Structure 1
Amino acid sequence: MSMSRLPAATVRRLQKLPQIPSVWEGDRHSLPSSPVAGSQPSPGEGECILWVDGVQGVVRAMEVVPAGSGMEPMVRALIAAMERPNAGLPARPQKIVVRNREVQFFLRGILHELDIKVEYQPELPLIDEILQSFAEAQEQIPPPLPENYAELLASKAFTLWQDAPWEYLEDHHILAIELHQWDVETLYVSIMGRAGMEYGVIFYRSLPSLKQFRQQARQADPAEMEEVFLRQDCLYLTFQPRHPELEDWPNLDLAELDPEEIEPNFGTIHPLEGLRGVLQEEEAATLAVALEALHCFLKQYRRKLEKGFQPCQGQYCVPNPQGEALSVQVRTLPELAAELLALEEEKPTQALLREDLLPEGAQLGLGLLPWATVEVLRRAGQVHPLPQSKLVQKGEGLPVVIVRTSRSKAKQLIENLRGEGGPQGICFNTGVDPFDGHRYELEIVQTGNRDLHLFGEFPKDDPVHSRARRRWERRCRDTGGCCGLVIAMGANSHQPELPVHHILALFEMQALSPKRLGLGPLVRVSRHLHF
């Protein structure tokens, strides 16, 4: 209880609200399940704060907060219930009741200037009724997988993760799995993960659906992509971090995590139904058989496919969760793969990346500025902060992209960056050169005018860059994604450390994921890189 009084300005503002003859109930309960009144939430769970108008019978405020976050969130939610209610008009109640003595004493001290009585009541009928409805609704939500398939599909998914077909198959290397079961004749399989972004398998129920999606996804702008995505007709298995907070890490590659940190996610998409993360029994059985057949095929032909996508075919006797074993054929579709690759390599109408910002001969690198150096630059007026942003000074320092060039070119680059609205963020994305088959990691900076600029291009298998990238990602995690762009003079300097007096500007940026910028793997066409 570090703060025991509201600011005087806040009190005056709340006193202007009309006071209504109403009693509000307030409580907090643990998530995801609704506990018995008075029980304590388990460590690490979230909690839901409720403020309910007992006269009108409406929820005025509901907020989810981390467990153990103290009593201040109760006050914040109450102020929201008064000023910005989910239902009803802004107002102050005459009385509030809570069923926790400690909360009562805390709120009594906070609210005495607002003429609001705070009373203790062991039972809160309206909130208990709401919690009961939450619990009943939770019970009615079906599990993502039928009970007798959850363990089976998890095992098949883990086997596929160990098979790691994305190490040698591209997403246009389509496989056909002939089932002739559960209203499915053939599944057309696309492997995701070669680009190091999203890992999984898409099982298209028809070839037209696969082709249509790839054609439309190529032509759609970012605002249309969600609708294009929902027009697919497929089952899918994707992999995600077991801990949700890892999804916010910039440039996270699941392949770098331990297997126990990965969990599978199953679902289906249909143009008339949209995305559904709950599978019916026949859909679960279809996936179980398809995944087992795919595993058998990969086990038989991995070495051959590692040398190139070529004709391969296998017939397998696969256990059927709903009856007798099935004979399933799996084969590659090289001609379709060539057709899809040609579609990807068609020249788009507009270039995606600009390459005209960096001066000729500029040297680039990933580095670190100690926080003391950042403060020196700030006092010298050489730091260009992002609007409404504050650097999180955690870890050993600020991760930065360093551009070294001559003094005159550095000054011109700084002016050019200002003219573009300043650098806002940076991401690392996969680039593919279809002419030599090589893969690259592209260092892409987004400026304030939403343009994307290519800053660096590194071979995917470059060990020096890979080590620098791992350090960069670790440091960005420490700072919550805060990073910077350093413009320095001394392009021919070979000093391992960057002298402070060589730094002419430090622009604050955010480390971004390619997904946030709407990017997928980029394909080189002539001298430029495009979708």
Structure 2
Amino acid sequence: MTSFNRSTNRRLNKLPQIPSVWEGDRRPLSSSPIPHSDSSANGDCILWVDGSQGVVRGMDVVPPETGPEAIVRTLMRAMEHPHSPAKPARPQKIVVKDREIQFYLRGVLQDLDIVIDYAPDLPLIDELFRGFAEIVDSQIPDLPPQYAQALQEKAFALWQAAPWEFLEEQQIISIEINKWDVGKLYASVMGMLGMEYGILFYRSEESLQRFRAAVLQHEDSQGRLEEAFLKQDCLFLTFESLDADDEDEDQMDDLAEMDLSEIAPTFGNIHPLEGLRSVLYDEEALLVYVALESLCRFIRDHRRQLCDDIFPELSHRYRISLPEAESATKSVSVTVASMPQLAAELEEMAGFGADESEIETSDSPIFRSLRDDLIPEDSFLSLGVVSWEMLEYLRKGVTYHPAGEIKQVGDGLPVILIQTSRPKAKTVIESIEAAGGLKAICFNPGADPFDGDRYDLGLLQTQNGELFLFGEFLDDDPIHVEARKKWNQRCKNTKGYCGLIIAKGLTGAARGNPQLRDMVALFEARSLSPKDLGLGTLQLMPQL
């Protein structure tokens, strides 16, 4: 049996011993488990009460599988750090109604001069637990118990179908149900940007359009965005990490990189008069079940067409069997259809179809002779080196494009590392491959004639001769100057060979420090000097 160490016994014995009797017990909070509820509602509650004064000194809720040590930990807090208004103290006597707890405490507390007794009833604690149980048992579960398992299964089926890999948020799919006072639902898929994954099922086309318009109008005002969010009229399914509560939001891994066992679906409803609630009632649960099942079937039947660059016009009718429950309705006929016309309207609203020359980006100048549409703007960028040992691992474990025989001289291969989200990394890789691969990595001088700043421009040259801007560095930045010196020396060691690494995980714990598992592609290339390029100093010009 585990016992206190001597220093802990000495510390506890220094507490004043008061002439009072404490009651202690550990019991389940709820008489029956509540599916898909907060885990604390299904836990065991440990309670220590000063029966003489009628005050709760300590309380904890622990998972049912937690060992008997938990009751001692709560007792220690009840003695040393009790709930107000109680003061730190030791009792003269402890009473419990569980023989196993009694014998366990006798062994652990034998050096603290505390009597441990048994009583068949603990009136004060019995009354407190009755109150707790009534509160917990009256809680509404997040999902109706009779539909919970079926909804969970459909959610994971959608996750595995991964519609966000080929559908953008504005590419709306209508689901005509004509049941439960709903004519159509309008499904908007979230997740292509590698941020939040899920589906919004709008109850009307107007609600969808109003929300999109509000977002575009108030995108710089967080308060207005929150107001617009709460004015939506939709049901939703989102996915989150099971460890989301324990992690900093900025350090969250991309869910798409996690195992299915690490992900949990969350269902809910948003309405202008109700706000947001993560609870579905019976009819809403059936509505979402039918929507998910029909959407999964539609994706299965039309995946190839939906992956095309042009959002196609498609329609399919399904009969969906409802989960077994106390319902007279056994199945529902549903029509699922893509809405390319609505998608075009939403794209026009957002300005997606505008010519780049018409978009004002006066605060984001470009170099006219270069393309800047390859590397995502929010990417993490670094100049560094990959050891020869790690290089061998990379060549075997990622998308790899060699450039020739590289002599292993120096500390490793000089590389440019670009870290972005998983979907964007995939797009970058496909774009380079479509251009024939990577030919060279270059640095070329640039100048801003308006303010006199001079730049060191990082360029990627593809095999088809195109030049892409990947970075703009002030040429007097001491950090960049030092990094460029090392780059030049390492390229000299390798006889002009270098590499480009594309990594995922920008939104995860590895942000800014990608590990080997985050690296998805290696393009080996040649290093070119400004003289090799022959471009001279490029002039920074504002976008008109």
1:104 aligned residue = 105
Within a 5 Å distance, the mapping from 1:168-187 to structure 2 comes to 168-187=166-185
Contact 2:253 2:509 (8 Å CA) reproduced = no
How far apart are the structure 2 equivalents of 1:344 and 1:58?
67
What is the match of residue 238 of structure 1?
Answer: 238
CA contact (8 A) 1:268 1:275 kept: yes
Residues 136, 403 of structure 1: alpha-carbon distance in 2 compared, 3 angstrom cutoff: farther
Secondary structure at the counterpart of residue 351 of structure 2: helix
Residues 1:26 and 2:24 are matched in the alignment? yes
Change (3 A) 1:403 1:130: farther
Q: Distance in 2 between matches of 1:347 and 1:61?
A: 62
Letter in 1 for 2:304: R
Match of 2:384 in 1: 363
Q: Does residue 1:63 correspond to 2:60, yes or no?
A: yes
Deviation at 1:274, TM superposition (A): 3.1
Q: Report 1:217-256 matches (<5 A).
A: 219=219, 229-240=229-240, 244=243, 248=247, 251-256=252-257
Are the equivalent residues in 1 in contact too, given 2:199–2:236 (CA < 8 A)?
Answer: yes
Give the match for residue 313 of structure 1. 314
Counterpart CA distance in 1 for 2:47 and 2:255 is: 37
Cα deviation 1:413-466 (Å, max 9, x = unaligned): xxxxxxxxxxxxxx9646869x999899xxxxxxxxxxxxxxx999xxxxxxxx
| Paired position in structure 2 for 1:191 | 189
What letter is aligned with 1:204? Y
Cα distance between partner residues in 2 of 1:315 and 1:280: 28
* Superposition deviation, residue 148 in structure 1: 4.1
| Residue number in structure 1 paired with 2:274 | 273
Please tell me whether residue 150 in structure 1 is matched to residue 148 in structure 2: yes
The answer as to 2:343 corresponding to 1:334 is yes
- 1: CA distance, partners of 2:353 / 2:263: 30
In the TM superposition, residue 94 of structure 1 has moved relative to its aligned partner by 3.6
Given that 1:23 and 1:55 are in contact with CA atoms closer than 8 Å, whether structure 2 keeps it comes out as yes
CA apart distance, 1:169:
0.8
Instruction: Determine the C-alpha separation between the residues in 2 that align with 1:78 and 1:368.
Output: 54
Structure 1 unaligned residues grouped into runs of 5+: 36-44, 370-401, 406-426, 441-455, 459-486, 497-509, 515-526
- Partner residue in 2 for 1:50: 47
Cα RMSD of the aligned pairs, angstroms, is 5.2
- TM-score normalised per structure 2: 0.55
Residues 8, 159 of structure 1: alpha-carbon distance in 2 compared, 3 angstrom cutoff: closer
Equivalent of 1:131, from 125, 129, 132?
A: 129
**Cα distance, 1:235 vs. partner?**
0.7
- The CA distance in 2 between the partners of 1:344 and 1:125, in whole Å, is 72
Q: Which amino acid aligns with 2:278?
A: G
> 2:185, 2:202 within 8 Å by CA — same for their partners in 1?
yes
Determine the C-alpha separation between the residues in 2 that align with 1:364 and 1:230: 48
Query: Could you tell me how far 1:287 is from its partner in structure 2?
Result: 1.6
Larger radius of gyration: 2
Deviates more, 1:322-331 or 1:213-222: 213-222
Between 1:165-174 and 1:5-14, the stretch displaced more is 5-14
Cα distance in 2 for residues equivalent to 1:125 and 1:171:
58
Give 3-state SS (helix, strand or coil) of 1:23's partner: strand
Partner of residue 292, structure 1:
293
Letter in 1 for 2:335: V
What is the CA deviation profile of residues 280-331 of structure 1, one whole-angstrom value per residue up to 9, with x for unaligned ones?
2221222233223323432343212211242413151433746474353522
- The TM-score with structure 1 as length reference comes to 0.56
Counterpart-to-counterpart distance in 1, 2:492 and 2:83 = 60
Give 1:6 deviation, angstroms: 4.8
Q: Distance in 1 between matches of 2:420 and 2:62?
A: 33
CA distance, structure 2, for counterparts of residue 283 and residue 156 of structure 1: 15
Counterpart in the other structure of 2:208 = 210
**In the TM superposition, what is the alpha-carbon distance from 1:82 to its structure 2 partner?**
4.2
Counterpart code for 1:121 = A
Structure 2 unaligned spans of 5+: 34-41, 323-327, 365-375, 391-411, 433-457, 461-481, 494-506, 512-539
Query: CA 1:72 to 1:317, structure 2 compared with 1: closer, same or farther past 3 Å?
Result: closer
SS in structure 2 of the partner of residue 219 of structure 1: coil
Describe the superposition over 1:183-205 as per-residue Cα deviations: whole angstroms up to 9, x where unpaired: 33332211123234443211122
Question: Could you tell which deviates more after superposition, 274-283 or 129-138?
Answer: 129-138
Greater shift, 196-205 or 103-112, is seen at 103-112
State the match for 1:282 in structure 2: 283
* Identity over aligned pairs, percent: 39
* Residues in 1 aligned to 2:119 and 2:389: alpha-carbon distance in whole angstroms: 56
**What is the letter of the counterpart of residue 77 of structure 1?**
T
Flag the 1:61–1:213 CA change in 2: closer, same or farther, 3 A. farther
Q: Which moved more, 1:215-224 or 1:45-54?
A: 215-224
Q: 1:5 and 1:272, CA in 2 relative to 1: closer, same or farther beyond 3 A?
A: farther
Q: Which amino acid aligns with 1:101?
A: Q
The code of the aligned residue for 2:347 comes to A
Structure 1 residues 287 and 245: alpha-carbon distance in aligned structure 2, compared to 1, 3 A threshold = closer
Equivalent position of 2:526 in the other structure: none
Question: Aligned partners of 1:403 and 1:9: how far apart in 2?
Answer: 60
* TM-aligned CA distance change 1:366 to 1:27, over 3 Å: farther
Match for 1:90: what amino acid? Answer: K
Distance 1:78 1:296 in 2: 55
Once structures 1 and 2 are overlaid, which stretch shifts more, 142-151 or 254-263?
Answer: 254-263
Distance 1:110 1:237, change over 3 A: farther
Q: Equivalent residue of 2:110, what SS? A: helix
How many angstroms apart in 1 are the aligned matches of 2:169 and 2:298?
17
Q: State the AA in 2 paired with 1:234.
A: C
